[in-house]
Amino acid sequence: MNFNAFMTKVKDNVKEAAPEILIGAGILSVGAGIFFACKATLKVDAMKADLKKEVDEAVEYAKDKFEEIDEAVDNETLKGYDAQDAQQDKMTVYGQTAGTAIRTGLKVAKEYAPAVGFIVTGIALILFSHKILRDRNAALLTAYTAIDSAFKVYRQRVIKDGGKELDAKYLYGTKEVTKEVKKVNPETGLEETVLETTEEIDYPLGSPYARIYDKEHAACYQNNDSNNYWNTSYLQAQQEAANEKLNRIGYVFLNDVYTMLGLTPTPEGQIVGWIKDNPDGDGYIDFGIDLCYTDPRFRNIIERNNGYLRRKLVLDFNVDGVIVDKIKWGIKGKNDLSPEELDEVYDQCEEAIANAGDPEYVALDNDSWARQNK
């Protein structure tokens, strides 16, 4: 490897590791600034007596000069010396005293200058590192969104031309499956059992966002629920809560749903999710709760529980795709009420309390109470 190629490689490696290098340099710089600040403090403490003496002498000198000036004006010791001349002289003394104070302050600042320089440089390096990472993440998100959109368009064309089975074949691939089948031998006329090899779609667990909901993965899973009745009911309730959140704030990240179900969040879960009224999505959140009973991919995922076999719950979420670039930040939810709207709710509540016996007010909308609590 020649020298130019070596330097090019070093340059590329440094550029790639620039955020880490800048953060490390920034931390070292801030640490150096703290060290020099401590060192300057010790030095300033040693200088404190001399600095105080300079300032005190300047103040005493100013007092003496002011007394001389006032005496000269009052006793007319100087011919033609009036109040205007005295004011000008006092301003001169003020300037001399201020100059002494400034010089004293500059001496202190000079001692702390290295510390300030290192700390400011360190903070700047850390902020610049953050900017590089933010720009890279933005570029990655743009690329990911473009690939995701292109892949969706490609699959739509495949489905249009060949149907969903062809799309599944291209998406998941195929595998050879050998089964015993009964066929009638045309020569003997007798039914025989033969082995027949066919190609079937090699379905995976599900989408990259699918998760198994069992005692090993979900913190809120009930293992003693022999027929998954409680688990299914709980999942349906959480699905309704997720859809309520989607309708209320306009978006839900996949990680929000993972957290609701006691599943471990993932990096991609903070990018994909659901958008309300998304033309490219279903418009609602579906956990795929019944897939383990209806989807051929999941029918053989079973477990033994209390001596009985039961199907494992496999959840495959119908995410819209990447949503982090589609969120309309600042969407007003039902509970984000203005002061005027809250006053109206308060009035309704007071009226309801005053007319508690009236059936018309007994059925007061619970959402109004929720808004009042907000």
Give me the count of residues in the chain: 374
Q: Are residues 195 and 152 in the same domain?
A: no
Q: Which of 200, 202, 222 is nearest to 213 (CA)?
A: 222
In a domain, 1, yes or no: no
Q: Are residues 104 and 144 in the same domain?
A: yes
Distance CA 327, CA 73 (A): 77
List the strands of the sheet with 272-275, edge to edge.
Answer: 251-253, 272-275, 321-322
CA distances from 359 to 266, 352, 363, 364, 368 (A): 50, 10, 7, 9, 17
Q: Are residues 240 and 355 in the same domain?
A: no
Q: Are residues 35 and 112 in the same domain?
A: yes
Q: Are residues 224 and 118 in the same domain?
A: no
Q: Are residues 76 and 117 in the same domain?
A: yes
> How many domains are there within the chain?
4
Q: Are residues 31 and 137 in the same domain?
A: yes
Domain with 367, as residue range(s), is 339-373
**Per-residue pLDDT tens digits of the chain, which is 374 residues long:** 577 777 777 777 777 888 888 899 999 999 999 998 898 888 888 877 777 877 777 787 778 777 777 777 676 666 666 677 777 777 887 777 888 788 888 888 888 888 899 999 999 999 999 888 888 877 877 777 778 778 878 888 888 888 877 887 777 677 777 877 788 778 777 888 878 887 776 666 667 888 888 877 777 887 777 777 888 889 999 999 999 999 988 899 999 999 999 888 988 888 889 998 888 788 899 998 887 777 766 666 666 666 666 677 888 899 988 887 777 665 444 455 566 766 676 666 666 666 655 555 444 444 444 444 44
pTM of the model: 0.49
Q: Are residues 233 and 350 in the same domain?
A: no
Q: Are residues 153 and 22 in the same domain?
A: yes
Q: Are residues 126 and 48 in the same domain?
A: yes
Q: What per-residue confidence (pLDDT) applies to 338?
A: 65
Distance CA 155, CA 64 (A): 93
Q: Are residues 20 and 125 in the same domain?
A: yes
Q: Are residues 124 and 39 in the same domain?
A: yes
In a domain, 330, yes or no: no
Cβ atoms of 299 and 205 within 8 Å: the answer is: no
In a domain, 3, yes or no: no
In a domain, 163, yes or no: no
Q: What per-residue confidence (pLDDT) applies to 374?
A: 40
